Amino acid sequence: MKKITLALFVLIFLMHHQPAIGQEPSGVVIDEVVAVVGKEYILLSDIEQQYLQMRMQESVQESEEYTKCLILENLLFEKLLLHQAELDSVVITQDQVNAELDRRMRYFISQFGSQEKLEQFYNKTVTEFKSDLSEVIEKQMMVENVQQTITEHVDVSPAEVRKYFREIPHDSIPLISSVVELAEIVKKPVISPEEKHQVRERLKKYRERVINGESFEALAVLYSEDPGSARQGGDIGLRGRGELYPEFETIAFQLDPGEVSDIVETEAGFHIIQGIERRGDFVRVRHILLKPRVSPEELDKARVFLDSIAELIRTDSLKFDDAVVKFSTDPSRNNNGIMINPNTGGSQWSLDELDPKMFFVIDKLEVGQISTPVVMEDEDGSEAYRLILLKNRTQPHRANIEDDYDQIQMWALQQKKTETVKKWIKNNSYKAYIRIDENYRSCNFENTWF
């Protein structure tokens, strides 16, 4: 079911903004312009495609007429942003477009499992995808540029947060589901010097084979342990500064086309890199990655070590915070081991945000208790162990300013941003040429468009 949902998402993404057909030979109209904003126009097919997408995802909650009016208003806002971008002479370079195309293609390929599966599914090459989407991506980036400037300086004060909460009708105060706060002590197994030496020796042989005339691409397909690029002959696509491991990036930007680096060590493992091209602050290279392996013995040593630390903490012989500083090998040790929710940037996790394995561990703990050592997968795919401390767990309740200030602040900020956007639309819609088909003028729009 997950694959079907993903395929639908990609399909709709690729269909969006496709050129519409004007008329069939018989003269029957199969598409029409329903709105114009400046030089931009909205087609009936744009609305129908998005409505179809919502129906297939079962996200249509209102009537068809209401939903299509909502879609049209969203498209009007998008076109007004694009119109403003053109007035402001917002420039998106081809390098920026290419980098975004590469990023999106990498994501889609990773979800399908391989470039071949993606191309086979749609009967279209990645190069053809990029060609079709280049103009669409450029316009999307222009829209995002303007949209960010509208709300980038919007903030809320504590007084505004409290005022926002006081104005919520009592019977409309949202229900807050149970949330937890967690901390961890992570122990990554040690990789032996012998294992690292063996990996480096293998890479040296691959490098010598390339120097002696063998194909870097062929060797990458055969031996690289980076699944995202191995199928592409090690090609990682066009990357900007800051997107790569620092050690990797430093070497990548120094290589001439065809030049092969010495061995480079990063958090991911050991690499040899071959230059392809450089465009200003963007570089394209291919690489072969080999990852040193953790032995089962070292992994078990990490488990036993954390088991002993847990026992010391349970008997009050060692404070959890002190153990984090002394023994954790994860960057979270700089924040007392607090696990940060990537979705919010805060320390609170709703139960449905937790990995199922994590949920079953947490579900058995009382507040203040720590788990037994739990196996985990690090960002680079290697295994480690960790202890998890349940610092706090709230029960489902109506929101209140004392316990849920951060959540209420987010609501208040979102409302203020929405109001700021509405004011921007009101001010700028008067300045732009906007025409909406009579059939849609009965829509109950939230903003004034004509």
CATH of domain 2-146+419-440: 1.10.4030.10
Q: Strands of 40-43's sheet, edge to edge?
A: 40-43, 33-37, 434-436
Q: Could you give the residue ranges of the DSSP H alpha helices within 257-317? A: 296-314
Checking if the pLDDT of 22 tops 60, the result is no
Which residues are paired to 279 by β-bridges?
282
CA dist., res. 279 & res. 409, Å (int): 43
Written as six digits, the tokens of 365 are 């703990």
CB atoms within 10 A of CB 147: 17
Q: Write down the CATH number for the domain with range 178-190+295-395.
A: 3.10.50.40
Residues 377, 155 contacting (CB under 8 angstroms): no
| Segment 407-421, tens digit of pLDDT | 899 999 999 999 999
The pLDDT of residue 196 is: 92
- The rounded mean pLDDT for the chain is 87
List pLDDT tens digits, range 236-282: 888 878 888 899 999 999 999 999 999 999 988 999 999 999 888 88
CATH topology of domain 193-290: Chitinase A; domain 3 (3.10.50)
**pTM score > 0.75 for this model?**
no
Report percent pLDDT > 70 for the chain.
92
Section 36-58 average pLDDT: 88
Q: Is the pLDDT of residue 10 over 70?
A: no
Q: What's residue 19's pLDDT?
A: 39
Section 26-50 average pLDDT:
83
Q: Is 243 helix (H, G, I), strand (E, B) or coil?
A: coil
CA 375 to CA 299: how far, in whole Å? 9
Same fold, 2-146+419-440 and 193-290: no
In angstroms, what is the C-alpha Rg of the chain?
27
**Interior angle at CA 333, CA 327 and CA 338, nearest 5:** 125
Query: Which sequence spans correspond to the domains of the chain?
Result: 2-146+419-440, 178-190+295-395, 193-290
CB 223 within 8 A of CB 316: no
What is the DSSP code string of 159-224? Answer: HHHHHHHHTS-GGGPPEEPPEEEEEEEEEPPPPPHHHHHHHHHHHHHHHHHHHTT--HHHHHHHH-
Q: Is the pLDDT of residue 2 over 70?
A: no
Predicted confidence band at 8 (pLDDT cuts at 50, 70, 90)? very low
Centre a 10 Å sphere on the Cβ of residue 222 and count the other Cβ atoms it contains. 11
Place of tokens 């002959």: 233
63-121 pLDDT per residue, tens: 888 899 999 999 999 999 999 999 889 889 888 888 888 888 877 876 776 677 777 78
Residue 12 has pLDDT above 50, yes or no: no
Q: What is the pLDDT of residue 380?
A: 63
